[in-house]
Structure 1
Amino acid sequence: MPGINAGMTDYIVEFLGVDREQADALRRHYWRRYGATLLGLVRHHGVRASHFLHYTHRLPGLEARVRGHAHDVAALQRLPGRKFILTNAPRAYAERVLAALDIGRWFDGVFSVEDMRMFGQLRPKPDVRMLRRLVASLGVAPSQCVLVEDTLEHQKAARRVGLRTVWMQRWLRRGAPARPAGRPAYVDLRVRHLRALWRLCAGGG
């Protein structure tokens, strides 16, 4: 995430013609307001989504820096049900990360930002309409789906749709909005490790 955030700030500096401090403030502002910096840039500055995504997710040397953990792989293997990646990142980036971690085989598919269009408009997380359409495409009831996320705004939207929600707190992002002291009412489970997801499977909260 630090590399992607830096890439977004660089993009804003170069293509909006502001200084780095202004660019960083704008990146954070749009992320807080819309749940995705990209949406603010598209709506208010006419930025082309595909151009922004390519520029900000190039990340040379990514594969050498990404490290997996055996206990995470074991947790993914043991979890029942279908598992999908739902990411506001471009598909090429998501597939690079999955390949670097060698965990792609444990997922049934990837829904990337390119898949989050409705009526010609980009609708990435936390868009409620997109989430409803996604659940319908999976052919299951919302209550049978669990969204595992580190972003609370996305979890609020998921709860509105009827999904169960898990707040992953293992990765803390600098510049993220202040976190509530406890577990928000729209979060079913707060975890720091993937293996803790078994508590949901067992009916725990």
Structure 2
Amino acid sequence: MRTTRAVRVRHAARAFPREVPAGSAPARQPVWLFDLDNTLHHASHAIFPQINRLMTAYVARVLGTDDATASQVRVDYWRRYGATILGMVRHHGVDPDDFLAEAHRFEDLRAMVRAERGLAQLLRALPGRKILLTNAPVAYAREVLRLIGLKRAFLREIAVEHMWVHRRLRPKPDPLMLRRLLARERIAPSRAILVEDTLSHLKRYRRLGIGTVWVTGYLRRVPPGGQPTSTADALHPMQAAAVGARANSPHQPAATPILFANRPGYVSVKVKSVLQLKRRLVRRG
């Protein structure tokens, strides 16, 4: 009986969390789905390098290998499955909660966070509901939101622990997870707008009929012929792979610089900062 109850409680914790009551909103207002890392704050400044080191160390311990091999495996699993955690669970039977906890240990997160001022005012000014949709763990996501002044900015915070569908972990860019979220919230895809820095997520979800906003301000640029200064300075694997950034990968030689002048067809709006959202949307009518 105790075992059954423990399993039931664990699965309940992984379900989509209840939304904070906010009264009825006009049916035609948009529903904003905001990513967190490198969208609402500058994760590549210090947080992603730390996550890279922690993930690599974790993979190395599980595989019993050196850091260089572990880093290759880490990136390969992201490219194959969309998230390193999926490869580690599928091929090595790791506990996803343990993996997430070990990959997001920070002695002084406050000192690592960098964000723009005015985000709370911007989110309040945008019409419609706002939902946080992040592949990061919930404890980390909530602490970052608190540190950047967005603790009460979202009606719901959906983190990776909440992305279990049919007993399988399905983080972004899994389409079934997003379809389930939209169905549960009774949101027509045409009303949903995903605000993201990761192009592969935007591309996959645009096929569902949602609007897409690409945030480029925190994506690292490499000058012609330049190389990353060290592995610790490299982007999170999901950033490097998502923009086809071989020049930003610690595992590939630098080739051409990453330029963000073009807007892919599956991107509805491209902005450098989320602070530009209201002005750009007004301009588009």
TM-score (norm. length: structure 2): 0.67
Instruction: State the 4+ residue runs in structure 1 displaced beyond 6 angstroms.
Output: none
Out of 58-67 and 96-105, give the one that drifted further: 58-67
Shift of the alpha carbon at 1:76?
2.0
3-state SS of paired residue (1:110):
strand
3-state SS of paired residue (1:106):
coil
Which letter does structure 1 place at the counterpart of 2:191?
Q
| 2:265 paired residue among 145, 164, 185 | 185
Distance 1:200 1:115 in 2: 32
Residue aligning to 2:157: 110
Distance 2:176 2:122 in 1: 31
3-state SS of paired residue (1:11):
helix
Residue aligning to 1:56: 103
Residue aligning to 2:184: 137
Distance 2:140 2:106 in 1: 9
Shift of the alpha carbon at 1:64?
2.8
Higher relative contact order (CA 8 A, sep 6+): 2
Residue aligning to 1:40: 87
3-state SS of paired residue (2:276):
helix
Identity within the alignment, %: 47
| 1:84 paired residue among 131, 134, 140 | 131
Shift of the alpha carbon at 1:143?
0.9
The runs of 5 or more residues in structure 1 that have no matched partner are none
Query: Which one has the bigger helix percentage?
Result: 1
- Conserved 8 A contact 2:202-2:212: yes
Alignment of 1:109-128 (within 5 A): 109-128=156-175
Residue aligning to 2:278: 198
- Conserved 8 A contact 2:217-2:273: yes
Alignment RMSD: 1.9
Residue aligning to 1:66: 113
Q: Deviations over 1:52-72 (max 9, x none)?
A: 011111212112322332233
Distance 1:199 1:129 in 2: 32
Residue aligning to 1:165: 212
- Conserved 8 A contact 2:132-2:156: yes
- Conserved 8 A contact 1:35-1:154: no
| Distance change in 2, residues 1:199/1:186 (3 Å) | farther
- Conserved 8 A contact 1:169-1:192: yes
Which letter does structure 2 place at the counterpart of 1:80?
P
Q: Does 1:16 align with 2:66?
A: no
- Conserved 8 A contact 2:206-2:266: yes
The runs of 5 or more residues in structure 2 that have no matched partner are 1-47, 221-234, 246-257
Shift of the alpha carbon at 1:79?
1.4
Q: Deviations over 1:90-136 (max 9, x none)?
A: 11111111111121211111001111011111011110000100111
Residue aligning to 1:149: 196
| Distance change in 2, residues 1:107/1:183 (3 Å) | same
Distance 1:171 1:150 in 2: 8
Residue aligning to 1:2: 49
- Conserved 8 A contact 2:77-2:86: yes
Out of 82-91 and 178-187, give the one that drifted further: 178-187
3-state SS of paired residue (2:195):
strand
Out of 28-37 and 108-117, give the one that drifted further: 28-37
TM-score (norm. length: structure 1): 0.92
